[in-house]
Amino acid sequence: MIGTTSYSYLKDALDAAKEGDTVKLIADVNEPDAVCGGSPYYYEAFTLDLNGHTATVKYIDIMNNLTVKNGTLNADIINSSGGGNHTLKLDGVVLNTSTGEDSHGISWGAYGITLLSGSKIIVENTIFSVGNNDGFELIIDDTSSIIFKNARISVYVETNGSLEEIEKYLPVGYSLKSNDDYGYHIADANGDKTTNDVELLAKNFVLTKVEAKAATCEEDGCIEHYTDTHGNFYIEQNGVYIKEKAENVIIPALGHSWGEPAYKWSADYTTCTRTYVCQNDSTHTDPKTVYTVIENGIATATFDEEITRYSHTANVDDKGEANGQYGVYLDTNDTVKIDGAKKLSVKLKYGTESGFDYIYVYKDAECTKIMQIDDKDAKYSGNGEKTFEVDGDEVTFKFTSDSGVSDYGYYAVVTAAVSDVQIKEVKQIIPGDVNFDNKVDNEDAALVLKYISTGKAFYPNDEEQNERAILAANADGKGEVDMLDVIKILQIVEESNN
């Protein structure tokens, strides 16, 4: 009945329901072939109060919000609004969907499903299809659940968090996996399709607080947030936990910002160490030591390395992974320059609207000298890959798009072999001459004796000079600097005086 108006059949009452009406049962209803909705369409929201009874119909198809409460409903539930912003609300209801080839199961092509007060949905050998363009919101209170028995699962849009909204209520060890033929199934911890009944429960949705953390050179940081057992992210706002995308929570690692290198030569000039110090964190260093070549009093240290740079459309990252498609009306230039390079090696991948959007390759930043590759201008459209070399130390990628279809964009990896050459005049070290006055005398002996007794550096403000002094102090050329070296220096002094 609706208000004081009675109906012989539930279908008739539902057909007559208007916006805000409550259809209330006064007895059990068994109309297994009743198609409720679709003809006529149910455009207006209403409530079905089972009033402690059981109702059986083929399905209810509504294009608005639907509330069902207080009883058992055997029916498929459909929202055919084509992605409307509507909610199916069950309050104290057990909902059993049908099985079989013609079953619609839960086909709620709209935004939300809410289960309250001990409600339960059983989906067996049929479909659970939900969501709209904005996503999907599933709310299961502490007393309610959804039981999947060999259910097929699909969502209106796969990339807007709808799958995660279902997955968050799964027991630990279970996940959603794509089927080869249709939608998703529930997989066990081994990734295999489970044959077990799986119950979605509020207790499975456990949030763990993660404190805010600053990003470092090598580790990601984050804002304060919460994670569930399936790795989804949530932000708390006024006591409400709102699901958030990872990129809005995680602060990417800063990466090292290397300053100018410092060079340190060994005391005998046989090795040279180049060290970069990170400007973000001075404890992060990148040292490299090479052997030198000494000729005609000059030591030469050569640091060979391969440097890699990237160029790509904004939707593509440095790994070549695309997040969406490039924009329209683009006209961008990106110059890659590797100082010291004599030749650049380039690997280019592109995917554009053929004949309308283009990637050009130029030798110069001003885009006046287009590359010639395979005896043709380097102007590409459609899909393809190119590998080529560029003489010099720079290359420019120009990308243009119109207002039509967009695609992958482009991704270029530019590498070059670069040599950093350092030279140093070799200063001869005289054994025993620790003060470098080109003679060995008692003053040198006294300095070495002081060094042995105090352990203080010969040249505390000049590390390189101090290492050369230690090398000179080891006058006998054996082991560490000790009293035998003092004796050796005194012997040298005595021999020079005779």
Provide the pLDDT for residue 40: 85
Provide the pLDDT for residue 181: 64
pLDDT tops 70 at residue 426? yes
- The least confident of 161-175, 283-297, 447-461 is 161-175
Angular region, 71: left φ>0, alpha ψ -120 to 50, beta rest: left
Strand pairing report for 66-96 and 225-227? unpaired
At residue 319 the predicted structure's pLDDT band, cuts being 50, 70 and 90, is very high
- Average pLDDT over the chain reads 93
249-276 exposure pattern, b = at least 16 Cβ within 10 A, e = fewer? bbbeebebeeeebeeebbbebeebbbeb
Residue-wise pLDDT for 72-97, tens only, equals 999 999 998 876 789 999 999 999 99
pLDDT, mean of residues 343-371: 96
> Which among 331, 349, 347, 358 has a CA at the least distance from the CA of 410?
349
**R_g (Cα) of the chain, nearest Å:** 38
Q: What's the one-letter identity of residue 6?
A: S
Q: Burial, 480: exposed, middle or buried (Cβ in 10 Å; 0-12, 13-18, 19+)?
A: exposed
Tell me if 63 sits within 8 A of 77, measured CB to CB.
Answer: no
Domains 307-421 and 427-497 belong to one CATH topology: no
Provide the pLDDT for residue 344: 97
Residue-wise pLDDT for 165-213, tens only, equals 898 899 988 999 988 667 899 999 898 999 999 999 999 988 999 999 9
* 46 or 182, which is more confident: 46
Structure tokens at 68: 């069902």
Could you give the percent of the chain with pLDDT greater than 70?
A: 99
Provide the pLDDT for residue 92: 97
- The least confident of 194-198, 240-244, 490-494 is 240-244
* Complete DSSP assignment for 59-97: EEEESS-EEEEEEEEEEEEEEEEEEEEEEEEEEEEEEE-
Collect all residues with Cβ–Cβ distance below 8 Å to 321 and sequence separation of at least 6: none
Domain edges within the chain: 10-204, 208-251, 256-291, 307-421, 427-497
pLDDT, mean of residues 33-49: 93
Instruction: Give the count of alpha carbons within 13 A of 152, CB side only.
Output: 15
pLDDT tops 80 at residue 160? no
pLDDT, mean of residues 306-330: 94
Provide the pLDDT for residue 238: 87
pLDDT, mean of residues 455-473: 91
CA dist 431 and 492 (Å) reads 9
The top-level CATH class assigned to 427-497 is mainly alpha
- The stretches of 396-481 forming alpha helices (DSSP H) are 442-454, 463-473
- The least confident of 116-120, 156-160, 272-276, 378-382 is 156-160
pTM (two decimals): 0.58
pLDDT, mean of residues 269-298: 95
> Which among 350, 451, 450 has a CA at the least distance from the CA of 400?
350
Per CATH, domain 307-421 is 3.90.550.10: no
* 338 or 231, which is more confident: 338
Provide the pLDDT for residue 231: 82
Could you give the percent of the chain with pLDDT greater than 90?
A: 79
pLDDT, mean of residues 49-67: 96
The H or E element containing residue 166 is helix 162-167
pLDDT tops 80 at residue 360? yes
